[in-house]
Amino acid sequence: MQQLSLPLALPDPEPIKAIWFQEMLQFFGISQCPAWPDRFGLSLHNWLIEQGHSPIKTLSLFSGGGGLDIAFHDAGFDIVLMVELEAKYVQTLKKNSMPGAWLANSKPICIDIREFFPSSDFTVDFIIGGPPCQTFSAAGRRASGVAGISDSRGALFQEYVRLLKTLQPKGFLFENVYGLTGAQKGEAWQEIQNAFQDSGYTIHSRVLDAADYGVPQHRERLFIIGIRKGNYLFPYPTHGPDSPGQEPFYSAGAAVEGADISDAEEGIRGRYGHLLKDIPPGLNYSFYTEEMGHPNPVFSWRSKFSDFLYKADPQMPVRTIKAQGGQYTGPFSWENRRFTVSELKRLQTIPDNYEIVGNQQICIEQIGNSVPPQLGRILALSILEQVMGIKLPFAMPYLPPTKQLGFRQRKRQLTEVYAQKAKAAISNILITKQLTSTSSSRYVNEGKAVRFLSIDFAWNEKEVPDSLKININYNLSNTSWMIIGETGESRKEEYQYIIDICPACGYEDWVLSTNTIKLCAVNLDKRLFTGLWKSFEEKLAEITGMADLVQLSGYYQYPARISGIMTFHSQLKIEPFWRVVQCVVRGIGVANQLSAKRLALLWGVSTDNVFSYLQSLRGMGYEVRNHNTNPQIPKGEYLIPYAFPTLTPKSVQLRKKLG
């Protein structure tokens, strides 16, 4: 019989180790049922007590709702003090520090870390915590950069350093968003590293994805481990393609099984709530964009945050749970509703028996701000073994310093998978004729309406205090839309100006089944100008289903998809400010951060008058930004994102001032 020649087996530079996650569960007698992280934490804590290990005195800073505290408490760290500024979060810490509760015998205090000065006899072995991360967050980057350590919240790490120098523990864990490493062109990250090293610590840092460590949620965070002596390596993932044995991810569907849904509400309310139903699990608002192939796009590509109308996929970990968000901020359940607080706790691996105090929004804040305990437990175990010298009952493999994890690459691959899911879902909708046609029969040939524009830029059908009454005449056809507005009771013969709107060059195939739009003003009135754009936006939503003018034009960091030209009556004497408005409608000085001097040159006006003109534009509903409204914008520069007014009563910018 012929013998087969086997290829020579070369040594693997990174030998496949035993499936250590399975070994851990087997040691504690735990099966992978829903809420297994809770049982793992309890079993680990009880085993350490049985072994008689001396508790490791630990100080918790910026404790929030207690995510890291749960993790380190379970791994044998004695949380002797929890420092938290927010009184509403301290209530949760107190509740769970009572006898018999998860963090029994821990002591929370409500104090600003800048006012926390421990007594001379206060000693600890370890410090954990991560300062507020908003100044390094994705939201900050979206608003033209991040403030980083120049913001008072970003500088709180200095208080962390002060306490390290004062207390000199054996080590510390510092957690923050991964955007910290790129803030201020890397200068903030370098300053933070230098400060920790100058305090006497060797630091080791990695960006980790919580899903790689048994959390049913993709959540990328930066972790810094600082130690005074010895060496430290981060643990290998327990789950996913980078884990030894490639243990499957802990899916969202498995995690929430059996969780309390008694307070679940059916669907989500509001203008866009009905859209959630058709979005395939794993996708978000982008399902309703032209780029995804939707025949009736509602939104423009990348015009919303990625969690806007994001529906979780039960077969995968969810995307990051946000601490704060709007009405349409996901993740939403694949059952087309909001997750309950109990389900969100499961997705964050916060124990079922850990009571979060507060109303629903305060509970969500605490969940979204916390470090997932299961990720924290694995890090705590690695510190327990390497820094504290405690032998673990199972082998924990550690990542070589040069080992790269693949979660970023997998994220890009997953985007392609969901794009295919979107294509299939849209094909199915078309086949079953569930989409509503935007044929010409939906167009109103002629019509009149009365609207009221309030001082906060609400567009109302009924009169409200201090609102402006605007008479609107519509003349809509397949070739052109004409929207005429006036503020008086009597009709004048001629228009004071006309704004012609058409697709920008390269975007001729727009969603409107008409060639041009004309906004015609009978009166030269600033608020009527705003009202005309509101009228256009109203008809846009009514006829196409598109959300607003931003979705038609596109997010401001991309080339505008519409173009506007404002033409005044030939005999009208035009003030300089209206010439500025004319330039802005044309897109001149728009969508770029520009100095007052540069704007003056573009608009042909005096530099001294630019600020007052910008103030007037805000008074017309334009979203004008500067350093006062968005600290990320350099002083002396201004940003007008769009060529048309966009402020509404819900706009964050409405409550800010230019100066």
Task: Name residue 306's amino acid.
Answer: S
Find all residues with CB under 8 Å of 36, minimum gap 6, and list them.
Answer: 25, 30
Q: Which two three-digit tokens encode residue 519?
A: 């906004």
Q: Which of 132-136, 497-501, 518-522, 559-563 has the lowest mean pLDDT?
A: 132-136
Q: Give how far Cα 598 sits from Cα of 582, 589, 601, 603, Å.
A: 17, 8, 5, 9
> Is residue 460 predicted with pLDDT exceeding 60?
yes
Percent of the chain with pLDDT over 70: 90
In this structure, what token pair is assigned to residue 413?
């691959």
Within 10 Å of residue 462's Cβ, how many Cβ atoms?
Answer: 8
What dihedral angle (degrees, nearest 10) is formed by the CA atoms of 102, 108, 114, 118? Answer: -110
Q: What is the pLDDT of residue 188?
A: 80
Residue showing tokens 């029994």: 104
Find which of 136-145, 438-447, 600-609 is predicted with most confidence, using mean pLDDT.
600-609
Q: Are 475 and 508 in contact (CB under 8 A)?
A: no
- Whether residue 429 contacts residue 437, with contact meaning beta carbons closer than 8 Å, is answered with no
Confidence tier at 2 by pLDDT (50, 70, 90): very low
pLDDT more than 90, % of the chain:
74
Task: Please say whether the beta carbons of 642 and 634 come within 8 A.
Answer: no
Strand-pair partners of 481: 476, 517
The CA radius of gyration of the chain, in Å to the nearest whole number, is 29
The C-alpha atoms of residue 620 and residue 533 are separated, in whole angstroms, by: 11
**Which pLDDT score is estimated for 435?**
45
Distance separating alpha carbons of residues 548 and 642, to the nearest angstrom = 12
Assign 447 a pLDDT band (cuts: 50, 70, 90). Answer: confident
Confidence of residue 53 (pLDDT cuts 50, 70, 90): confident
**Mean predicted confidence (pLDDT) in 243-267:** 94
What mean pLDDT is predicted for residues 148-177? 83
Q: In the structure encoding, which two tokens stand for residue 342, read together?
A: 């109990």
The answer to whether 451 and 472 have CB atoms below 8 angstroms apart is yes
Check whether domain 35-256+351-403 has CATH 3.40.640.10, yes or no: no
The C-alpha atoms of residue 293 and residue 289 are separated, in whole angstroms, by 7
Q: How far is CA 422 from CA 26, 293, 354, in A?
A: 40, 8, 38
Residues whose CB is less than 8 angstroms from the CB of residue 269 and which lie 6 or more positions away in sequence, other chains included: 327
**Nearest residue to 518 via CA among 541, 546, 485, 556:** 485
Q: Single out the residue of 180, 174, 232, 235 nearest to residue 199, CA to CA.
A: 174
Contacts of residue 653, defined as CB under 8 A and 6 or more positions apart, other chains included, come to 623, 625, 629, 647
With a cut of 80, say whether residue 471 has pLDDT above it.
Answer: yes
What's residue 445's pLDDT? 62
Tell whether omega for the bond before 331 is within 30 degrees of 0, i.e. cis.
yes
Per-chain mean pLDDT for the chain: 89
Is 505 one of the catalytic residues?
Answer: no
Strand-pair category, 497-503 with 516-521: antiparallel
Type of residue found at 54: S
Interatomic CA distance for residues 502 and 512, integer angstroms: 10
SS (H, E, C) 147-187: CHHHCCCHHHHHHHHHHHHHHCCCEEEEEEEHHHHHHHHHH
CATH topology of 35-256+351-403 equal to that of 574-659?
Answer: no
Q: Is 52 left (phi over 0), alpha (psi -120 to 50) or beta?
A: left
3-state DSSP of 404-454: CCCHHHHHHHHHHHHHHHHHHHHHHHHHCCCCCCCCHHHCCCEEEEEEEEC
User: Tell me, what's the pLDDT at 133?
Assistant: 56
Q: Can you give the residue ranges of every domain in the chain?
A: 35-256+351-403, 273-339+413-431, 436-571, 574-659
State the pLDDT at residue 307: 94
Tokens found for residue 460: 């109302």
Point out the least confidently predicted range of 113-117, 267-271, 579-583: 267-271
The pLDDT of residue 431 is 67
Cβ-based neighbour number of residue 428 at 10 Å:
12
Do 171 and 225 touch, CB atoms closer than 8 A?
A: yes
Q: Which residue has the higher pLDDT, 220 or 19?
A: 220
Q: Which has the minimum average pLDDT: 48-52, 350-354, 435-439?
A: 435-439
C-alpha separations of 9 from 6, 12, 16 in Å: 9, 9, 14
Pairing of strands 562-568, 497-503: antiparallel
Map residue 646 onto helix, strand or coil: coil
Q: Which of 33, 110, 133, 505 is catalytic?
A: 133
Does residue 8 carry a pLDDT above 50?
A: no
Q: Rounded to the nearest 5°, which phi and psi values hold at 296?
A: -120, 70
* Domain 574-659: CATH class, spelled out: mainly alpha
At residue 429, does pLDDT exceed 90?
Answer: no
Cα end-to-end span (Å), the chain:
90
Coil, strand, or helix at residue 484? strand
The larger pLDDT score, comparing residue 58 to residue 507, is at 58
